[in-house]
Amino acid sequence: MTSKSSIRMPDDAAARVASGTYEALRATAEVAIVVTQAFGPDGSSLILPDPILFDGHPAVTLLVCCDGREALVHLSPIHGDPRKLGMEGLAIGSRCTLLTPVTRQPLDLVSDDPSGGFAAIYLTLRLAAGEAVLISPVWGRFASRILHDAELISAWDANDEDAFA
């Protein structure tokens, strides 16, 4: 991820921000956030050797347990991309337990609100809640957040029966 100190707005964008016109800050189709490393709460990598690839990027892989079933689910590492492989046929709205695929350690739940809350995928081995991708453990709830330095970098929230990230 890019640190705040290396982000530089063009002068005309800075002038628009100062004047209250914020179009310069809107993300466009060319902007993508790709998760390049991901860790469970025990520090185990969620990017497996010989990974499934999404547009050339290694998948983030979780072990998902739900309704008496368990399977590896490979999530696209591109934030906002709903593609996934695994656990086909699971009912939308099912609450899942998300585990690391090798050690079977449950992902940390960072909130448990009525909508299902979020589970943490850590972005560094510091395993800090302020550097994480937060994903919904509810099958079909397309909701996720990316935090960096405890600040919200990106958020997605939409109902999509094919989504899980």
CA separation (Å) from 31 to 28, 34, 47? Answer: 6, 10, 22
Instruction: Provide the residue range defining the domain that includes 68.
Output: 30-159
Number of domains in the chain: 1
Residue 42 within a domain: yes
Residue keyed to tokens 């964008």: 13
Instruction: Please tell me whether the overall predicted TM-score, pTM, comes out greater than 0.95 for this model.
Output: no
Residue 3 within a domain: no
Q: What is the pLDDT along the chain (165 residues), one digit of tens a residue?
A: 333 322 333 344 344 434 444 332 333 456 678 899 999 999 999 999 988 999 999 999 999 999 999 999 999 998 888 899 999 999 999 999 999 999 999 999 987 566 778 999 999 999 988 899 999 999 988 888 888 888 888 887 765 444 443
Q: What is the CA radius of gyration of the chain?
A: 17
> Which pair of tokens denotes residue 143?
């909701």
Residue 47 within a domain: yes
Residue keyed to tokens 């860790």: 39
Three-state DSSP state, 17: helix
